Amino acid sequence: MSGEPRPVVPVIVFPGSNDDRDAQRALELLGAESPRTWHGDESLPARTAAVVLPGGFSYGDYLRCGAIARFSPVMQAVVAFAAEGGLVLGICNGFQILTEAGLLPGALRPNESLSFVCRDVALRVERTGTAFTSRCDEAEELTIPVKHGDGCWFADADLLAELEENGQIALRYAEGANPNGAVANVAGVLNEDGNVFGLMPHPEHAVDELLGSTDGAKILGSFVDAARLSAAVVV
């Protein structure tokens, strides 16, 4: 990677985020420059090429997961950035915040089992060639850990049909591997324009053989590639 430009990919830190450093480390390993950015900031760092909302328990998960974080000052900048086509990735709690902010469709509910699940899950890539899956193969199976109590993605039948038709369901739990009761085994969803993506599994915890899988690097690596391209366009 040395010699290639390092796109600026801030990781937002909310009160209660706890995967921000893991996300930062993974992104930097994959060639990004990832400053941790406080939720109280009203703007994103200079030359921001993409943004990550990390996992954790922002605002103690009070009310509904992500419901309070969406009103953080920095979220206005994130919403404006996304509206201009900026790349935004939400992981776990970040995914919950993006659905609450209306940047991604559906909602995340308590797991069907009511238990917190923390384990590796098998995933199937449903869309390749997106800013988040360009390094994945068609229908590739990935192993990436989940760790959440509220990961049961929900959409009603009409919304689900619309998302399926638009190809917005980019990632599903493999058959029999759904850890939370999510509708249609959905693990990750794109917005309509394809520049915002949220997923419950944690790719930042799967970028090193020591942790059992490097499949997360396929998603984060795709994302850093796309951020580098979009940074090149901006400059």
Partner 1 sequence: MLVRPKPGILDPQGQAVESSLRHLGFEVGEARVGRLVDVELATEDRTEATAQLERMCEQLLTNPLIESYEIELGAAAAGAEEA
Please give the residue ranges that form the binding site for partner 1 (CB under 8 A). Answer: 63-64, 67-68, 71, 100, 106-107, 109-114, 152, 154-156, 181
Whether 92 is a known active-site residue: answer yes
Q: Which is nearer to partner 1, 61 or 100 (CB)?
A: 100
Contact 12, 53 (CB under 8 A): yes
Nearest alpha carbon to residue 214 among 30, 12, 39: 30
User: What phi and psi values does residue 112 have, to the nearest 5 degrees?
Assistant: -55, -40
Q: How far is the CB of 32 from partner 1 (least distance, A)?
A: 32
Tell me the closest approach of the beta carbon of residue 96 to partner 1, in angstroms.
10
Q: Using an 8 Å Cβ cutoff, are 205 and 22 in contact?
A: yes
Minimum distance, C-beta of residue 108 to partner 1, in the bound complex (Å): 9
Residue 95 CB burial class (10 angstroms; 0-12, 13-18, ≥19):
buried
For the CB of residue 151, give the shortest distance to partner 1 in the complex, in Å. Answer: 12
Q: For partner 1, give the closer residue by CB, 37 or 111.
A: 111
Cβ nearer to partner 1, comparing 100 with 215: 100
Per the annotation, the verdict on 204 as an active-site residue is: yes
Q: Which residues contact 217 (CB under 8 A, 6 or more apart)?
A: 26, 29, 30, 135, 203, 206, 207
Annotated catalytic residue within 92, 136, 148, 205:
92
Alpha-carbon distances of 168 from 28, 60, 69, 181, 196, rounded to whole Å: 28, 29, 24, 19, 10
Largest Cα–Cα separation, the chain: 48
Shorter beta-carbon distance to partner 1: residue 152 or 190:
152
| Start-end of H helices in 30-149 | 73-83, 93-100
User: What pairing do the DSSP bridges indicate for beta strands 87-91 and 196-199?
Assistant: parallel
User: Active site includes 202?
Assistant: yes
> Minimum CB separation from partner 1 for residue 211, in Å?
30
Q: Any idea which residues carry the catalytic annotation?
A: 92, 202, 204
